[in-house]
Amino acid sequence: MSQSEPGQEELHSRRFFLGGIFAFLTSIGLIALGAFRFVVPNVLYGKNQRFKIGSPKDFPDKQATYLPEQQVFIVRDGDTFMALSAVCTHLGCAVRTDPDKPGFFCPCHGSRFKPDGTNYAGPAPKPLEAYEISMGNSGELIVDKRTLISPKDKYRI
């Protein structure tokens, strides 16, 4: 009987020791997890910024074709192409083709843009963004939204 009491104490002290080790390792793990979340921020990177849009012949001449997934207008004028952002430069509404004249119209506050994206009416402070277009090996046009160009630098096929 008297020998079991020291065994109980030893068991308690072992449990206490293992509990301390567990608490210590748990705290280290939580700190490491916090540090990892700090290094890898909680960010969604969105859609691919460089994408194929199809063959040049897929786009009707003298028209702006809207690509809703990419929020881009492809404007074709003969053998020249432009990729214009469909996001208004005022407060970010989606522009649409102007029903009254060639170009684009923002329904939010009435900004108007020429077919090359130049702003000419309403509160929009600058032209629509224009993106680089190139030709892929498969003969498909590629738009790169990471590369802004001047609207004068149209892509010619």
Binding site for ligand FES (CB under 6 A): 88, 90-91, 93, 106, 108-109, 111, 122-124
146 in Cβ contact with 137 (< 8 Å): no
- Rounded Cα–Cα distance for residues 151 and 157 (Å): 16
Q: Which is nearer to ligand FES, 108 or 157 (CB)?
A: 108
- DSSP conformation class of 28: H
In angstroms, give the least distance from the CB of 86 to ligand FES: 11
Q: Which is nearer to ligand FES, 94 or 135 (CB)?
A: 94
In angstroms, give the least distance from the CB of 54 to ligand FES: 28
With H, G, I as helix, E, B as strand and everything else as coil, classify residue 30: helix
- Rounded Cα–Cα distance for residues 86 and 83 (Å): 9
In angstroms, give the least distance from the CB of 21 to ligand FES: 59
Q: Which is nearer to ligand FES, 93 or 157 (CB)?
A: 93
In angstroms, give the least distance from the CB of 87 to ligand FES: 9
- Rounded Cα–Cα distance for residues 62 and 41 (Å): 44
